[in-house]
Amino acid sequence: MALATGGALRLAAGPERGARVAGLCILFGFAAAWNWLLLTPWVPVDALSRVIHIAIGGFVIGFALDLIQPKRSWGVGLSVVYAIGSVWSTISGGLLGPAPSEAGGWLRLVLYLSLWFGLIRRLNVLRSEGPSGLVICVMLSLGLGLVAQMSGEGSIAAVAYCLVAALAGYLALSWILALAIGNAVVLGGGGAVLGVAMALLEPSSQASAVALLCLILVPFADGTAKRLPLGPSAFRPALYPLALMVIALLPISLAAIMAFLFAGR
């Protein structure tokens, strides 16, 4: 669905505007899976059920930024508000929820915000490398799904895998048509990935912190991928995303092994 709706948006809106709005297809594909495959409730009652709301918020804000193209300060400010709102709603149970009553809640707040600001900043850096930022989102979601599955968190794994499918659909389209990665993909796609990560980091989760720590290396896989011999320069843009996937699989495999070893402990 993500691939089909992305292609339709690209054709209907034209080469310039279509490239900006096509990223919404990730949300369409993920929302369809959420409703008809996952059968997950739309009411945000816990960290996992908030993932779709976090994704919607990110895509709406990112889509508005892509269309209006305001000053950079506006983009930064809205990204910060979106990150704080998403993290606060997960910690306190709602956008206007009470402040954490224990030190552990505040520590989680600081940890989650650090992850949010770090990943969104990293994805913005990777935007200049074609689909690299989108590849990182796909691989991170895949890694989170594997860790969740190995840890016995089947519901979180199912959400992560559906997100992988939606992201991969748009990745194929952007790879073929050389579409730019806009704010909608960075905030919406990256936000959805971080929503899954927060669900795995919650105290009720059985996922190993050591396994999740391994996934921090995934956003920096480009440093090694750039050094790989990919043949003539004419083929490098097409082969580089594949090289990035292969390198990212290394920490993902390590995380999956760690999750399996620490399962039930």
Hey, what long-range contacts does 179-182 have (CB within 8 A, 24 or more apart)?
179/10, 179/19, 179/22, 179/131, 180/19, 180/20, 180/127, 181/23, 181/123, 181/126, 181/127, 181/130, 181/131, 181/133, 181/134, 182/19, 182/20, 182/23, 182/62, 182/65, 182/66
pLDDT surpassing 60 at residue 265: no
pLDDT at residue number 234: 64
Average pLDDT estimate for 202-219: 94
Share of the chain above pLDDT 90, in %: 62
Q: Which two tokens stand for residue 22?
A: 């096509």
Q: Give per-residue pLDDT as tens, 158-182.
A: 999 999 999 999 998 888 887 778 8
Q: Which two tokens stand for residue 192?
A: 């959805």
Is 196 within the bounds of a domain? Answer: yes
Report the alpha-carbon distance of residue 247 to residue 222 in Å, rounded: 8
Is 239 within the bounds of a domain? Answer: no
Is 124 within the bounds of a domain? Answer: yes
Q: Whole-model pTM?
A: 0.93
b/e per residue 5-25 (b: at least 16 CB within 10 A): bbbebbeeeeeeebbbbbbbb
217 touches 127 (CB < 8 A): no
pLDDT surpassing 80 at residue 95: yes
Closest by CA to 156, choosing from 185, 111, 188, 199, is 199
Is 7 within the bounds of a domain? Answer: yes
pLDDT surpassing 90 at residue 40: no
Task: Work out how many domains the chain is built from and give that number.
Answer: 1
Residues in CB range of 161: below 8 A, 6 or more apart: 141, 142, 145
Is 254 within the bounds of a domain? Answer: no
**Across the chain, what does the average pLDDT equal?**
90
Q: Give per-residue pLDDT as tens, 107-159.
A: 999 999 999 999 999 999 998 888 899 999 999 999 999 999 999 999 999 99
Is 265 within the bounds of a domain? Answer: no
Q: How far apart are the first and last CA of the chain?
A: 39
Range of the domain at 56: 2-207
Is 222 within the bounds of a domain? Answer: no
Tell me which amino acid residue 168 is.
A
Task: Name the pLDDT band for 22 (thresholds 50, 70, 90).
Answer: confident
Is 216 within the bounds of a domain? Answer: no
Q: Give per-residue pLDDT as tens, 246-260.
A: 999 999 999 999 999
**Could you give the residue ranges of the DSSP H alpha helices within 14-131?**
15-21, 25-36, 51-68, 72-92, 103-126
